[in-house]
Structure 1
């Protein structure tokens, strides 16, 4: 087990909490390709676990493993202390694990409220007179967004007219509303500017404050350090760092993320004679 962040119940002398999700020595292979090797991490309620790495580091495979898309083939996955092997995204969702991918899987021309309830639409009436309860969906969407501090101009506007940051925030609010315990966010700030990235991180922190365990996948150590409680660094499918916030400073996190000793060796190679 890694250390705990200052201010958490474990740090104040109470009984150590069971992680919502725990990976211990998890590996995944695709034929002869090793995508993950001996990766461990913990996701606690009310905390943000950041997974950092460049392209090809294994972040996508890790997401798919926790989300139930590609079952692991080595090591142990536990959900609330129970060892398990997820066989589908539906099973992961039923266990309270919601994943927000980079493409968000929204229908751009549909209004915000339709996207908010996509696949889970409530109905009213009986028999052949059943119809979508549009009033309830509009009202619930507005209330759920306001609860997270998101004040949209109009939930009837097509979601495609929102900024990238606003769409990410709607997806986060949707996961909170539908009872997720663990929220996995795949590079939510990757294509955003500084201001919009700040807005998204604000709502990532709001999800944490709602008591969710958040897994933030990112290649940006500055964004990770703003909100993170735990940091797992991946390189070529292997774990090269596992730290709590009180165990590492931003400069060291950035150095490890950038390759550290590899960069130092490269500097010597590129130096002018």
Structure 2
């Protein structure tokens, strides 16, 4: 039986979206990984499954390119809002509220968490300046914005060999659920950012990475809210006040609709 899917992207961070609200889909890590493969599957950074929810308009589940299920994805949230018109999404990282369409979609993520146990870390540490270092990167800030991130503020993110150093940070034993790695600089036009996403590697944009970086920059008084965060795929506008939700605004692009025989991938 053919299953319909939609291919979408937020600033080049791309997704395969399956709507299982009426017809259940038995997703597994292995199936998600096969569908995400860019040579033998459909190809995407993350696979998104939409399911019924009793607490929101729908439930959104997320599998990374490597087949690991994660709690939150900001760019995917914007795409799902644009695709379905949903105003609220149940995710593993909490309820995400959304509105808008096309080039102007806004979602609101739950308030960030800074406690070491909320990241989580393997043992207590000061999350405003972790006493850790990996080569030229040291003393990052850590925050959970639905999924865990560390943020390094550097003079020029382009000069960081993130493709080689990112995996070692992601898999450091200090981060029992692995970690997303952000390197950012502050300029007159806001924040410039590169992100190594756990389970996906280097992507053109990371919505929760933009949120985590903006929150850390605002919390450390490097910038004021709202702030523009520019990545290789484009720019997001992030707003946050201490104690409150995070707002993220940017584009969500529909690429195409297709059908696939999921049984052929099992």
TM-score for the superposition, normalised by structure 1 = 0.30
Q: Which structure has the highest strand share of the two? A: 2
Q: Which structure has the highest helix share of the two? A: 1
- The higher radius of gyration belongs to 1
Q: Which has the higher contact order (CA 8 A, sep 6+)?
A: 1
